[in-house]
């Protein structure tokens, strides 16, 4: 994909790593707070009450798809907090925890009980940039299958 997005597939420019203007620093300790920012925004704007269930990722998946025309660069702060919501689904339902690793650099990721890692924030950006091929329910099922 070019830096300008792919107009042929209706996707705006991808996030290229510009600084994010977030309510809290992008640290593992703030993963839950960023997720709550997303929950509050969704409740206020869309009237939807997200419950951190695995099933709620279907709704989040559709919302990320809705932002494709703008692109992940324009929506980067919102995509980031949506990614934290995805991570909190792992944390609250499957025993994961927020961490930093050398592999993912400064981006918080979640680590499972068996030591495997998932990058829910990166997955949120990929979902906006790449479309349905990076859907969230499938992501959840693959990561959990690797945990077994």
For the segment 26-44, what is each residue's pLDDT rounded down to a tens digit? 999 999 999 999 999 999 9
- When the pLDDT of each residue in the chain is averaged and rounded to a whole number, the result is 93
Q: Could you tell me the pLDDT band of residue 5, with boundaries at 50, 70 and 90?
A: low
Q: Where are the beta strands (DSSP E) in 56-133?
A: 97-101, 105-111, 117-118
What integer pLDDT is reported at residue 2 of this predicted model?
40
| CB 34, CB 80: distance < 8 Å | yes
pLDDT tens column, 15-29:
998 999 999 999 999
What integer pLDDT is reported at residue 148 of this predicted model?
72
Report the C-alpha gap between 65 and 135 in whole angstroms. Answer: 9
Report the C-alpha gap between 94 and 24 in whole angstroms. Answer: 24
71: left (phi over 0), alpha (psi -120 to 50) or beta: left
What integer pLDDT is reported at residue 106 of this predicted model?
87
14 lies in some domain: no
40 lies in some domain: yes
9 lies in some domain: no
| CB 111, CB 50: distance < 8 Å | no
How crowded is residue 52: how many other Cβ atoms within 10 Å of its Cβ? Answer: 18
Mean pLDDT on 82-93? 99
Structural domain count of the chain: 1
Size of the chain in residues = 148
Tokens of 19: 């600084």
pLDDT tens column, 47-62:
999 999 999 999 999 9
What integer pLDDT is reported at residue 9 of this predicted model?
65
13 lies in some domain: no
| CB 57, CB 136: distance < 8 Å | yes
15 lies in some domain: no
8 lies in some domain: no
106 lies in some domain: yes
Mean pLDDT on 73-101? 98
6 lies in some domain: no
Alpha carbon 112 to its chain centroid, in Å, reads 17
CATH number at residue 117: 1.20.120.1090
Domain residue limits at 77: 24-147
């Amino acid at each position: 994909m070019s830096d300008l997005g792919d107009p042929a597939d209706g996707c705006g420019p991808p996030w290229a790593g510009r600084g994010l203007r977030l309510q809290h620093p992008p640290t593992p300790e703030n993963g839950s707070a960023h997720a709550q920012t997303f929950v509050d925004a969704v409740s206020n704007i869309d009237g939807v009450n997200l419950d951190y269930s695995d099933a709620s990722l279907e709704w989040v998946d559709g919302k990320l798809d809705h932002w494709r025309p703008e692109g992940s660069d324009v929506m980067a702060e919102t995509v980031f907090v949506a990614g934290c919501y995805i991570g909190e689904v792992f944390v609250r339902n499957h025993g994961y925890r927020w961490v930093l690793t050398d592999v993912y650099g400064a981006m918080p990721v979640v680590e499972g009980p068996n030591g495997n890692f998932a990058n829910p924030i990166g997955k949120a950006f990929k979902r906006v940039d790449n479309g349905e091929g990076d859907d969230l329910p499938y992501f959840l099922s693959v990561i959990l299958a690797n945990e077994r």
